[in-house]
Amino acid sequence: MKRIVHNNVNVPVIIETVTGDLRLRGRGSDLVVESESPHVEQIGDGQPFVVRCASDCRITLPPEVDISVQQVGGDAKLTELVGAVDIISIGGNLTLRNVITADVKTVGGDLRVKWASDSITVGSVGADATVREVDGPITIRAIGSDLYVRNINGDCIVDGVGSDLMLNLDFEPGKDYRFCAGGDVLCRVQPDTSARFVVPADTHISLDVEADISEGDGGQQIVTLGDGAALVTITGAEELRLIGKEEDYVINLGVQIEEELEARLSTLEEKLNQQLEGLDERIQAKTEYYASQAERLAERAQRQAERAAARFKKTQERKRVKGKRGTSRRVEFAWGSPPRPPAPPAAPLEPVTEQERLMILKMVQENKITIEEAERLLAALDSQG
């Protein structure tokens, strides 16, 4: 592992090519690039730095500098960034967390966006997408499979979702809400929601909340909650289901599991990053290796928990539909379904290694997790293998 350091960087950074995975975090005042074959050069005095890596790459840089990621062959994870983020092409999955604003052109796999303070713009995503906790508007052109949108404090425009759409929003008057879904739409609403949902005439409507249904001028169906202050336009959906807060237990369960895993991973990463300071390169490389393994292990556990929550949700939905007389069709939301082309095939499940078991035991010894949590984590990983 080679390490290149440029001190006190205050100009944009262009990540031109990373053939493997990219991990990028905003921290400190220096540009630090670590890879088996890194290449870093500055175009000229006061000009941007250009980074190329023919393998996996880890980068830390000042949070406030602007970043352009042109091409990553594998997965990419970018966190703790204050400057503008521009991403052209990610071959695998992309995670954005704790950023101000981002413009994403193409993602071959899944997209995860969480905690953004301004606008998020997304072009094309090959598989599933989750966009949460954004204080500004979002615009999404095309999602290949499922989309989950939660807590967006701005306009929300989604031009195309290949499969199912889940909405968990506080619909506010004066904001633009437009969605186009190829499958079903599940929307959670608050008791005091005041909104009008305009849907096509052939869209099946299922209500678990009090609402009025009427016919619009163009033959559309209009579902009105409260005074109908906010306008929500939905096209192409096979079914629209509105549920209340009290029936959102499955959604909340999945969110809780994800947030707990993210919090634990974030704490572990921060502790390991602090330990890196002042270590010689040989020890540092070894510590970073274990940090990378711990991150991958936590991400695998998170995917397993999400799949379990999705299976539980589908089971409960089948029971609900079976026990409800007069229901004209069955509602199933296939969150986490296989990606549609042109997304790359999903990676095969990895067997649990002895090193991963030892890592979990070490986390127990250091009081990072409890024995019960370790047993559940080992059981989840064993079920994958």
Q: How far apart are CA 60 and CA 15, in angstroms?
A: 12
What's residue 299's pLDDT? 65
Q: Which amino acid is at 189?
A: V
Q: Mean per-residue pLDDT for 238-250?
A: 75
pLDDT one-digit tens code per residue, 315-363: 666 666 555 544 444 444 444 444 455 555 544 445 556 667 777 777 7
Buried b (16+ CB within 10 A) or exposed e, 80-115: ebbbbbbbebbbbbbbbbbbbbbbbbbbbbbbbbbe
For residue 136, is pLDDT > 80?
A: yes
| CA 130 to centroid of chain Cα atoms | 4
Alpha helices in the chain (DSSP H): 249-276, 281-323, 354-365, 371-384
Percent of the chain's residues with pLDDT above 90: 61
Q: Mean per-residue pLDDT for 15-29?
A: 97
The model's pTM: 0.69
Phi then psi for residue 314, to 5 deg, are -65, -40
CB 4 within 8 A of CB 33: yes
- Pick 250 or 51 by higher pLDDT: 51
Pick the range with the lowest mean pLDDT from 46-50, 109-113, 227-231, 364-368.
Answer: 364-368
Pick the range with the lowest mean pLDDT from 56-65, 175-184, 230-239, 366-375.
Answer: 366-375
- Pick 25 or 341 by higher pLDDT: 25
pLDDT confidence tier of residue 268, bands split at 50, 70 and 90: low
On the question of a cis peptide bond just before residue 342, with omega within 30 degrees of 0, the verdict is yes
What string of H, E and C letters represents the secondary structure of 27-44? CCCCEEEEECCEEEEECC
For residue 285, is pLDDT > 80?
A: no
What's residue 39's pLDDT? 97
Pick the range with the lowest mean pLDDT from 148-162, 186-200, 290-304, 370-384.
Answer: 290-304
What's residue 373's pLDDT? 74
Hunting for tokens 């007069």 — which residue is that? 326
Q: How far apart are CA 166 and CA 382, in angstroms?
A: 30
pLDDT one-digit tens code per residue, 105-122: 999 999 999 999 999 999
